[in-house]
Structure 1
């Protein structure tokens, strides 16, 4: 069994997917963020990999989350304060003594049941698993062990995130499985890829 932790912001216009606003408008960008949130949660739950936790910004119960119907079977937690690395580190530390942890966001076109199951299987043989993104970040990061260096001093949302994290894993001497490269939807140029993927029905495979 594995715990999947999904990091997500409430899909509030003007606060999410801001780089898509020139193409979709604030309301359209927020609507897409909402679709991606629910789709990711549905895929995570239906993967049957293990427990699914939604780590929320703002915290559960905040007005920003009102009117959003989340799938049943989730546990909810707050992201609290700090940069992305600090928030992810706290989420991992809360659970790593109980189960292996897989961290994902809601932006990846290719998050699927197969990808999640492959990652969980890899964690039976490796200390860490990663699916890097074409933009240099990562869409999935799974761990059997914790070390703070994996989350400290990283220039988040830059093209160096995956490479720097992999270098730190190598320095720790951990066994690492690197899965296939995937794509996030962050900018207008990514929208065609999103629409093609959805049209081909690849989102839940």
Structure 2
């Protein structure tokens, strides 16, 4: 069954609590987008990061979901002035990315979520429609994945915590998506894939984004 057909699912709970989890860090020179900074310098990387934060806020503003902002530890020069209106803030716990994401999902479900989606702040191609489609797909699928062109993913959604999806991953490598999908297959989970999008992590990614903007795409 496609995501567009799922709204008539008679087994769907009467009350749906959709949660959105955003992983981010406060803007801070030399501490954000370090891979990008290696190619364009820390000042330019900070400027790009602020644009990505603004984009993430814009596409989630009208999303009918309870919103959680999980923040990395701030450094002494971090700009903490952005209010992130509509978000409840939480500190990211210690541990690798998988442990931190699993903790955030577990918190959302403990707070009553029936479907939760996590995103970062690296994807300028992310739209409100992608997020809406993710929640719609979770009516009929256990997992939703937004594949990134670098072999990772820009979005992960689920209706309960599957610890295997967060374990034994080489985070920030091109094997993350394939390993996650392989785990989902072993668990017998139905996975809905969103369109593939490009994160902005390197100077090449930034050039591709700027070129697409000039072309109006």
Which 4+ residue blocks in structure 1 deviate beyond 2 angstroms?
Answer: 62-68, 196-202
Residue matched to 1:15: 31
Query: Is the CA contact (8 Å cut-off) linking 2:146 and 2:156 kept in structure 1?
Result: yes
Residue matched to 1:146: 161
Is there any run of 5+ residues in structure 2 with no aligned partner, and where? 1-16
- CA offsets 1:14-55 (integer angstroms, 9 cap, x no match): 111112224431121012112211220221122x23112110
Q: Distance in 2 between matches of 1:199 and 1:192?
A: 11
Residue matched to 2:86: 73
Residue 185 of structure 1 deviates from its aligned partner by 0.4
Secondary structure of 2:41's aligned partner: helix
Q: 1:151 to 1:67 in 2, by over 3 A?
A: closer
Residue matched to 2:7: none
Residue matched to 1:41: 57
Residue 132 of structure 1 deviates from its aligned partner by 0.6
- CA offsets 1:78-97 (integer angstroms, 9 cap, x no match): 10200000100000001124
Is there any run of 5+ residues in structure 1 with no aligned partner, and where? none
Q: Distance in 2 between matches of 1:139 and 1:49?
A: 20
Q: 1:22 to 1:154 in 2, by over 3 A?
A: closer
TM-score normalized by the length of structure 2: 0.85
Query: Which protein shows a greater Rg?
Result: 2
- Superposed CA RMSD: 1.8
Q: Distance in 2 between matches of 1:35 and 1:70?
A: 15
Within a 5 Å distance, the mapping from 1:19-30 to structure 2 comes to: 19-30=35-46
Residue 200 of structure 1 deviates from its aligned partner by 6.1
TM-score normalized by the length of structure 1: 0.89
Q: Distance in 2 between matches of 1:121 and 1:200?
A: 31
**Greater mean deviation of Cα atoms: 11-20 or 102-111:** 11-20
Count the aligned residue pairs: 199
1:118 aligns with 2:133: yes
Residue 66 of structure 1 deviates from its aligned partner by 3.7
